Each structure stands twice: as C-alpha cells, then as structure tokens.
Amino acid sequence: MNKTVYLILLFIFLLFIQVFVLNNINFLGYINPYLYISFVFFFPLKENKFQILFFSFLLGLFIDFFSDSGGIHALSITTIAYLRLFFVGVFFKKLPSDYGFFSLQTEAFGKVFNYIVTLTVIHHFILFAFINFSFQNFTSVLTNTLYSSIFTLVLFFLSNYIFTKEQ
C-alpha cells in the first residue's frame, strides 16, 4: 500500500476510534486511553518537521473539537511530535542520514519500549497538567498520567502485536 494512503487511513482510523470508542472509557475516574498518539510513532522520520507537526496538530485539533477540550490535545500531541526526533537520537542513536531507513519494527523491543513509554508519559503529563491547571491537583495529574499511560501502552502494544504482520 502506498505510504501516503496508509497515513491518511491511519489518521482517519485513529481519529474515529479515539472519538467514538476510547473517549467513552473513563474507568475509575483515572483511566482514559489515548491511542491516537500512535500516529506520531508510525509517521515516517524526516528532517523536515513541518509535515509531522502539521498533521499531529490537525489530529489533536480534531480530537479537541469532538471532545470539547479547548486545544489541549493539539498542544500535547504536537509537543511529542516535535520531541520525537530528539528521542530517536537518544534511544536509537540515529542520525538524520539514517531517517530514511528507520522503522520501529526493525529495532530492538527494549529501545522501542523506552521510546514509546517516554513519549506517552510526556504526552499524558502535558495533557493532564493542562486539564487540571493547578498545583493543588498535582497528585491528580500524576495519578492520571500514570494510570492512563499504562492503559494506553497496553492498548498500543496489544494492537501493534495484533495488526502487525510477521515478515
């Protein structure tokens, strides 16, 4: 399948699954999965950050529109889209010349796990910090970040395992 068509379908699928299914899950008041951030993980690496920043912002804006959340999803997903090249360099030791050949499926699971956990926790922390927007609720921010990150990561790795074909 063409990479552009794949990314468009992934964008639409993640938008609909987040808006119509995952936003309706609020287990124990702390757990709400945000699987739409996997768009950032699957978007191909390029030196030009404009595309990933634009499409991540657009996805976050659509999530905000349907969730009536005032832009916090757009801010948090755009932030991790901006930071992802830094963390690719940290965890995978990749240079800009390696970006064309980089794929998460070909990397060691430990490195991929650390990379995805780091970006997920950053996303969730920014999201819940702006939802609560008070130092009095800092424990609530940390609790929501921890539990939602765990649930999002479990969903991400399960869906990645189920939907990824063996090569």
Q: Is the pLDDT of residue 165 over 90?
A: no
Burial (CB count within 10 angstroms: exposed 0-12, middle 13-18, buried 19+), residue 137: middle
Share of the chain above pLDDT 90, in %: 56
Of 11-15, 92-96, 114-118, 125-129, which range is least confident? Answer: 92-96
If one compares 134 and 32, the residue with the highest pLDDT of the two is: 32
Confidence of residue 167 (pLDDT cuts 50, 70, 90): very low
Confidence of residue 30 (pLDDT cuts 50, 70, 90): low
pLDDT one-digit tens code per residue, 69-108: 889 999 999 999 999 999 999 999 888 888 888 888 888 9
Q: Is the pLDDT of residue 53 over 80?
A: yes
Q: Residue 119's pLDDT is what?
A: 97
Could you tell me the pTM of the whole model? 0.91
What's the whole-number mean pLDDT along residues 151-156?
93
Spatial contact of 56 and 40, defined as CB atoms under 8 Å apart: yes
Q: Residue 116's pLDDT is what?
A: 96
Spatial contact of 14 and 59, defined as CB atoms under 8 Å apart: yes
